Amino acid sequence: MKRAPLWFCSFLAGNSREKRRLRDELAMMKGAWPLLMKQRNGGTWTTDDKAKLKSMVRSASSVSPYLFIWAIPGSMLLLPLLAWFLDRQRKQRARKSAP
C-alpha cells in the first residue's frame, strides 16, 4: 500500500487543526445573543457581561475569515430575496399605521 505524499498529509493536518479551532471559537460565542439583547430589553450590562462580550467579539473576529468565505457566495444569491422581504414588511407596516 502506497502512502500519501507529505504535502497532502500536512494539508490534512492543517485542515483538521483549523476545523477544531473554528469549532472551539464558535462554542465560545454560544449564548452571545441573549447577552447582546440584554441592554435593548431594558437591562444593563455588568462588568462581567462586558468582559464576556469583549471576549466574544475577539473570538468572532478570529473566526470571521472563515465565515466570510462561507457566507459571501450564498449572500449574493439571497440578497434580492432579503431586499424583497424587507420591502414587503415595510409596506405592511405602512398599511397598518395608515387609517
Residue 76 has pLDDT above 60, yes or no: yes
Task: Return the pLDDT at 69.
Answer: 57
Cβ-based neighbours of 66, under 8 Å, separated by 6 or more: 18, 22
Q: Where are the domains of the chain?
A: 6-97
Task: Return the pLDDT at 48.
Answer: 92
CA atoms in the 13 A half-sphere facing the CB of 87? 6
**Average of per-residue pLDDT across 82-93:** 81
CA dihedral 59, 60, 61, 64 (to 10 degrees): 130
What pTM, to 2 d.p., does this model score?
0.44
C-alpha distances in Å from residue 85, one per residue of 9, 79, 89, 92, 94: 46, 10, 6, 11, 14
pLDDT digits (tens, 9 = 90+) for 19-72: 777 777 777 777 777 887 888 888 888 999 889 888 888 777 766 666 665 566
